[in-house]
Chains A and B, each alone.
Chain A
Amino acid sequence: MNPFKRFTGTVAPLDRSNVDTDAIIPKQFLKSIKRTGFGPNLFDEWRYLDRGEPGVECSNRPLNPEFVLNAPRYQGAQILLTRDNFGCGSSREHAPWALDDYGFRVIIAPGFADIFFNNCFKNGLLPIVLSTEIVDRLFQQAAGERALELTVDLQAQSIILPNGEGIGFEVGEFRKHCLLNGLDDIELTLQHVDAIKSYEAARQQQAPWLFS
């Protein structure tokens, strides 16, 4: 995983609540045995006018002009601004893979579904929870004459608006450390092999039926 560095990016506003992972990446693309290449099918049913199938080249498919990500001003957006309970539903990690592959690095919402939230951190994506009031304000600014650009500074736990105003956000210390340093969870856990083995030995004594 690449370390998460401070960056400035364009905000794409997706004004819907309860965006589920079926909408983020529809089921037919889950048949892939790879973890890359999902970006062109991100939000497939909303983004294109025809029906998407795995293995079909997307560059010639008819785009839905009504869908926000298709607007020219949001091309290359790295920050997705959305509403409450983003990522609800299925645990498919294909959802953060698709968002990442598309080019998003940060998602801002008043709330996220638990499994999706967790999956983001495993893929270097930063989900940021902000109050409904602040999210409302960002939506207004994103709808302005020019697309909104924000700077995201994870180290300082701050989002910086174009006028220099900073908005703080919360992130778990451990997750922050892992993101900033691009650490792999499995490597970290395997530093504790002895602890796992001693837990296992004690547990086997206590609850042998779990080890038969």
Chain B
Amino acid sequence: MKTLYDKLWEAHIVRSEADGTSLLYIDRHLVHEVTSPQAFEGLRLAERRPWRTEANLATPDHNVPTQNRDEGIVDPIARLQVETLGKNCREFGITEFEMDDIRQGIVHVVGPEEGATLPGMTLVCGDSHTATHGALGALAFGIGTSEVEHVLATQCLIQKKSKSMLIKIEGKLGDGVDAKDLVLAVIGKIGTAGGTGYAIEFAGEAIRNLSIEGRMTVCNMTIEAGARVGLVAVDETTIEYVKGRPYAPEGEIWDQAVAAWRDLHSDEGAHFDRVVTLDASQIQPQMTWGTSPEMVVPVTGVVPDPAQEPDPAKADGMRRALEYMGLEAGTPCSEIRPDVVFIGSCTNSRIEDLRDAAAIAKGRKVAKSIKQALVVPGSGLVKQQAEEEGLDKIFIQAGFEWRDPGCSMCLAMNADRLEPGERCASTSNRNFEGRQGAGGRTHLVGPAMAAAAAVTGHFVDVRSL
């Protein structure tokens, strides 16, 4: 009896050392501009070529501007990095969706959208949110630049197997509670280091009921619970999602693939090193109040009091977070007022996320107190689809800015960033100090909650609108 993680791991072992360190074969490598230049330079210095060129797929995302693209990238250092990706891809024959390509976008949106992410694959990228792709039953994890070079040169990585954790979400999510609330609740429960050393499989009725987009939101944030790998077993939803995508197999090979994919689940009775169970019906819409994703409360609650925290190290961290965030313990969440709203990132920039946000924005106006409200689709194709559905008009009429695809204000490497002291309702994944701009204050929420904060001017339980 094997877990899904066991099955994926074993299918990719090329060889193993005595201490269990294994050489793991990598099926797909996604590449972006920030973590790859030094790896390509390493290849060149050692006079190596990519082992299997067609296993790589590249697109710039972290640094790209989200408006006035026809003017190119103004920041010369960012421009050089994006141009370097282009130059490297051309030199080594790697397919790249460049900035003017409709398929360009955030790597973790582009991979699944193109069918470049398939169930049963090993997939890596020099980005910690690579766990996103585990939503399709792929063993996917983030790597550093040395490993990017290693994959390019050898199509393999030297890895040690993680422990396994099963997170079971029983029951159904309530109306107005989404995948982001679910994963924030999980992180609140197990903590930001709770998954360190583990590969996490998400299971249970609430996970099965999620669309692939929702599952991607959940797997995306497993790294915020400390785990490199997040997984969901393959089911009909997965197979339906993959079918017909540009890189997906067709005809006889499709049938053969589907037959193999049907085995991509944990066997009944398989052993997990740790099992955590949550009741979906108890999960409320969530928002973070502090500077770590584990500092999370239901939006109906209040900012917690460090004096109530028994662990002194934790209490100290809470005090520091309150000071940084400019908040007082005991403040109701609904009294916290953002200056900026950001809807986007590899966590929440897919079509379903935009639909959720647009449903709230429709017929309403962004509050006057909001300085900026951005909607940044995850890819050019998401943007196109949203426009076909008229979502862009809903956002623009409500007073949101409708931008071009990229990572944008999630990490603020481009021009989209918070000013010191600005508070943001953000659908991204990290509320670390300075993450969205030096001195910026981030509250993580789901897309409907972000839109609700935009139109009311304060955080609010989306179910009450």
Contacts and interface: CB of A to CB of B under 8 A. Distances in A.
Contact of A92 (B35, B196, B249): B35
Contacts of B248: 209
Given A111-B193, A115-B228, A90 B128 contact: yes
A186 B156 CA distance: 9
Contacts of B15: 192, 195
A207 B120 contact: yes
Contact of B193 (A18, A115, A185, A189): A18
Contacts of B196: 85, 111-114
Contacts of A83: 313
Interface in B8-45: 14-15, 17-19, 21, 23, 25, 27, 34-35, 37-38, 41
Given A51-B438, A91-B143, A203-B25, A115 B128 contact: yes
B269 to A, nearest CB: 26
A27 B46 CA distance: 28
Interface string B244-269: 00001100011011001000000000
Interface in B186-224: 192-193, 196-197, 223
A118 interface: yes
Interface string B397-433: 0000000000000011100000000000000001011
Interface string B288-317: 000010000000000000000000010001
B313 A210 contact: no
B435 interface: yes
A209 B249 contact: yes
Interface string A78-120: 0000011100111111001000000000000001111100110
A185 B97 CA distance: 30
A88 B226 contact: yes
B146 A185 contact: yes
A96 B254 CA distance: 43
Contacts of B145: 35, 93
Chain B, interface SS category: loop
B246 to A, nearest CB: 12
B77 interface: yes
Given A22-B434, A93-B144, A208-B253, A189 B81 contact: no
A212 interface: yes
A199 B27 CA distance: 12
Given A54-B77, A115-B144, A199-B14, A22 B256 contact: no
B23 A192 contact: yes
Nearest to A212: B249
B70 to A, nearest CB: 22
A22 B433 contact: yes
Interface stretch (B147-155, B276-284, B377-385, B446-454): B147-155
A31 B226 contact: no
B438 A26 contact: yes
A45 interface: yes
B27 A91 contact: no
Interface residues of A, number: 58
A31 B81 contact: yes
Interface string A185-212: 1101110100110011001000111101
Contact of A22 (B27, B143, B160, B430): B430
B253 A212 contact: yes
Contacts of A54: 77
B158 A30 contact: no
B257 A114 contact: no
Contacts of B158: 174, 185, 188-189
A54 B192 CA distance: 30
B80 interface: yes
B396 interface: no
A85 B128 contact: no
Given A17-B317, A114-B226, A199-B14, A122 B142 contact: no
A27 B355 CA distance: 30
A33 interface: yes
Contacts of A96: 144
Interface of A: 16-18, 20, 22-23, 26-28, 30-35, 45, 51, 54-55, 83-85, 88-93, 96, 111-115, 118-119, 122-123, 172-175, 185-186, 188-190, 192, 195-196, 199-200, 203, 207-210, 212
Given A16-B317, A31-B413, A174-B17, 11 more contacts: A31-B63, A31-B80, A45-B433, A92-B35, A93-B35, A93-B126, A93-B146, A113-B196, A122-B147, A195-B15, A196-B154
26 contacts: A18-B192, A18-B292, A20-B430, A22-B411, A22-B435, A30-B34, A30-B413, A31-B75, A33-B37, A33-B81, A85-B226, A89-B223, A89-B430, A89-B432, A93-B35, A114-B227, A118-B144, A185-B150, A185-B158, A186-B153, A195-B23, A196-B25, A199-B14, A208-B256, A209-B118, A210-B118
